[in-house]
Amino acid sequence: MRIPSLTHATTLYILAGQVAHAAIELNLDDDESIKQAAGRAAFDMLQYYTGNETGDVPGNLPDPYYWWECGAMFDSLINYWYYTSDTTYNSLVTQGLLHQAGTSSDFMPTNQSKTLGNDDQAFWGMAAMTAAETGFPDPPSPSPGWLALAQAVFNTQKPRWDETSCGGGLRWQIFPFNVGYNYKNSISNGCYFNLAARLALYSGNQTYADEAGKVWDWMWSVGLIKHDTYHIVDGAHNTDNCTGMDGNTWTYNSGVFLLGTAAMYNYTNGSEVWRERTDRLIEAGKKFFINDVMYEGCEASGKCNVDQRSFKAYYTRWLAATAELVPHTHDNIITEFRASAIAAVKTCTAGSTGTACGLKWTEGVNDGSLGVGEQMAVMEIIQSNLVDKAPGWRSEVKGTGTSKGDANAGLTAPGDEERLVGDVTTTADRVGAGILTALVLIGVLGGSAVLCISE
Ligand SMILES: *[C@@H]1O[C@H](CO)[C@@H](O)[C@H](O)[C@H]1NC(C)=O
Ligand SMILES: *[C@@H]1O[C@H](CO)[C@@H](O)[C@H](O)[C@H]1NC(C)=O
Ligand SMILES: *[C@@H]1O[C@H](CO)[C@@H](O)[C@H](O)[C@H]1NC(C)=O
Ligand SMILES: *[C@@H]1O[C@H](CO)[C@@H](O)[C@H](O)[C@H]1NC(C)=O
Ligand SMILES: *[C@@H]1O[C@H](CO)[C@@H](O)[C@H](O)[C@H]1NC(C)=O
Ligand SMILES: *[C@@H]1O[C@H](CO)[C@@H](O)[C@H](O)[C@H]1NC(C)=O
Please work out whether the CB of residue 46 comes within 6 Å of at least one atom of ligand 1.
yes
Q: Is any atom of ligand 5 closer than 6 Å to the C-beta of 202?
A: no
Q: For ligand 2, what atom is nearest to the CA of residue 59?
A: 14
- Residue 430 pLDDT > 70: no
The answer, yes or no, to whether any atom of ligand 3 lies below 6 A from the CB of 222, is yes
Q: What's the CATH code, domain 14-454?
A: 1.50.10.20
| pLDDT value of position 420 | 67
Of the listed ligands, the closest to the CA of 265 is 5
Q: Which pLDDT band, with edges at 50, 70 and 90, does 21 fall under?
A: low
Confirm or reject: Cβ of 167 under 6 Å from ligand 3: yes
Ligand 6 midpoint to CA 272 (Å): 26
Residue type, 187: I
Ligand of minimum distance to the alpha carbon of 268: 4
Q: If you measure from the C-alpha of residue 326 to the centroid of ligand 5, how many angstroms do you get, rounded to a whole number?
A: 6
Q: Whose CA is nearest to atom 11 of ligand 5?
A: 266
What atom in ligand 2 is closest to the CA of residue 102? Answer: 13
Report whether residue 324 contacts ligand 5, using a CB cutoff of 6 Å: yes
The answer to whether residue 8 scores a pLDDT higher than 60 is no
Q: What percent of the chain has pLDDT over 90?
A: 83
Mutate-to-test residue for ligand 6 from 207, 208, 395, 404, highest number of ligand atoms within 8 A of CB:
207
Q: Is the pLDDT of residue 1 over 80?
A: no
Ligand 1 atom with minimal separation from the 53 CA: 13
Indicate the pLDDT class of residue 431, thresholds 50, 70 and 90: very low
Chain-wide mean pLDDT for the chain? 89
Q: Are 121 and 192 in contact (CB under 8 A)?
A: no
Q: Mean pLDDT across the stretch 367-382?
A: 98
- CB of 207 shorter than 6 A to ligand 6: yes
Q: What is the pLDDT of residues 312-325, one digit of tens each?
A: 999 999 999 999 99
Q: How far is the CA of 33 from the centre of ligand 1 (A)?
A: 24
C-alpha distances out from residue 81 to 7, 78, 179, 303, 321, Å: 18, 5, 37, 32, 15
What ligand is nearest to the CA atom of residue 266? 5
Q: What is the reported pLDDT for 438?
A: 35
Q: Is 160 in the pocket of ligand 2 (CB under 6 A)?
A: no
Residue 256, pLDDT score: 98
Residue 421's pLDDT band (boundaries 50, 70, 90)? low
Q: What is the pLDDT of residues 156-167, one digit of tens each?
A: 999 999 999 999
- Among 203, 264, 268, 269, name the best residue to mutate to test ligand 4's pocket (greatest count of ligand atoms within 8 A of Cβ): 269
Cα 290 to averaged position of ligand 1 atoms, centre (Å): 38
- Centre of ligand 2 from the C-alpha of residue 60, in Å: 9
Q: Is 205 in the pocket of ligand 4 (CB under 6 A)?
A: no
Our answer on whether the CB atom of 267 is closer than 6 Å to any ligand 4 atom is yes
- For ligand 6, atom 7, name the residue with the nearest CA: 407
pTM tops 0.85, yes or no: yes
Q: Ligand 5 mean position to 83 CA, how many Å?
A: 18
Indicate if the pLDDT at residue 100 is higher than 90. yes
Q: Is a pLDDT exceeding 90 seen at residue 39? A: yes
pLDDT of 40 strictly over 70: yes
Q: How many CB atoms lie within 10 A of CB 277?
A: 22
Q: Which residue has the higher pLDDT, 356 or 455?
A: 356
Closest CA to 269 of 359, 397, 356, 405: 397
Mean pLDDT of 44-70: 97
User: Does 442 have pLDDT greater than 90?
Assistant: no
Q: For residue 206, which atom of ligand 6 is closest to its CA?
A: 1
Q: Return the pLDDT at 22.
A: 62
Q: How far apart are CA 120 and CA 123, in angstroms?
A: 5
Q: Where are the domains positioned within the chain?
A: 14-454
